[in-house]
Chains A and B, each alone.
Chain A
Amino acid sequence: MDEPGGPAPETERPIHRPEPAFRPVAAFVLAIVLAGGLGLVVGGVVPVPSLRWPHFSSPFHDDPFAVADPAGGDWLDRSEPTRVDIDAVDVHAPLSALGLDYEGNFEVPPMWRPHEAGWFEAGPTPGEFGPTVLLGHVDTDRSGPAVFYAIRDLEEGDAIEVTREDGLIVTYEVTGVESYPKRRLPYEEVFGVEPGPALRLITCGGEFDREEGDYAENVVVFADYEGSRKATAKDRDRPLKGRDDFGR
């Protein structure tokens, strides 16, 4: 760049003319950018199969009760959950009981109740031994984000509170957030026992398949039991979000 030769010829050149060494470098960089852009265009047109680490499972089935003893702690008795509160992502939702639909798929809250989440009624209730599963929409068909839109942003250590009908609030701590293709939802992990009561939040994620009208993946938030406390007046006064808080 610094030619010792001199200032004299420099003055005759146009001021904005690039240095000789600059041009090939710039051309090279631009060529790479061009190639990258072409790659994006091709990638946008041709569907790229997502690469996934194959699931290796042990040929020896692990005994889930080797580490998890249902009688090993003073867990709570059955009492249905009524609401879930996650301050970290501003979720304050009523819960309804969910089962299966006529095809054997998981029932979900109705689309026109985007503020509502549900709990899998056939499973354990919060604080009982075993996994309590809550399901909620990530969005609705028209009105935008729904109750569990933000749970993908939960981080390890965030607190989740589930209030039970008996007035106890069960607290959980998030241990992880995972996303799985819907056809390969790992039931053993989501519906299997842990050493203590556990909570799983399920919503949708991944690409939206417009032909199928469904997302390709399920986002699952895993959380472990921390303890329970009696709901105080302050707890009970926390406002629930309503339908008007979502979309339109």
Chain B
Amino acid sequence: MRMTQPVRGMLAAIALSAAIVLTTAAPASAAITVTLSPTAGTVGTRVDVLASNCNQNATAVIENTNVSIALPRNNNNAQGNFTVPDGMKTGTYSVLVTCGSETASAKFTVTSGSGASTGGGSTASNTATAVLWSGAAVVAAAAAGLWLLKRRSGTAAA
């Protein structure tokens, strides 16, 4: 499947470059877009919601929940925020914004709040053990040095 990707990509590139030419030629107004920040977070995270190109008060709901968000008009946009409620299950949710007769959505992901388990440990050195042994080696070397010094000073004194 991956083998075909360059070919598909090339075709897509041609199609998209044509599309870009068309869209840039069109006036840059119209469709509202929804942006979230952050796009992922744990329960209790405050999420800002921005509906661009929505020049009026708008509302938003989080799909499959009873959370609704007011987005007061702010310059040419509508903007508000919500806090991920306690008990919200982990997963990806659509935040659906209604601005007049238009709607648009963006996705928010509720995570467990932990980081990513991106390692198996095969390159991890056991640092504690390494430190212990190098420490022991240093102690041994220093003790030997001191002993040599003492012995030589002893023979000199004798």
Contacts and interface: CB of A to CB of B under 8 A. Distances in A.
Given A141-B121, A167-B10, A100 B90 contact: yes
B137 interface: yes
Given A27-B146, A41-B135, A183 B115 contact: yes
Interface stretch (A2-10, A84-92, A170-178, A201-209): A201-209
Contact of B17 (A34, A120, A230): A230
Contacts of A148: 118
Contacts of A187: 38, 40-42, 45, 111
A180 to B, nearest CB: 7
Interface residues of A, number: 94
Given A70-B35, A122-B107, A137-B120, 7 more contacts: A33-B145, A136-B118, A137-B119, A144-B122, A163-B9, A188-B41, A217-B115
Interface of A: 17-18, 23, 26-27, 30-31, 33-34, 36-45, 47, 61, 63-65, 68-71, 74, 77, 79, 82, 94, 99-100, 103-106, 108, 111, 120, 122-124, 129-131, 135-146, 148-149, 163-168, 180-183, 185, 187-188, 190-193, 202-204, 207-208, 210, 213-215, 217-218, 230-231, 236, 247
Interface of B: 2, 5-6, 8-17, 24, 33, 35-42, 45-46, 48, 50, 52-53, 77, 79, 81, 89-92, 107-124, 126-143, 145-146, 149, 152-153, 156
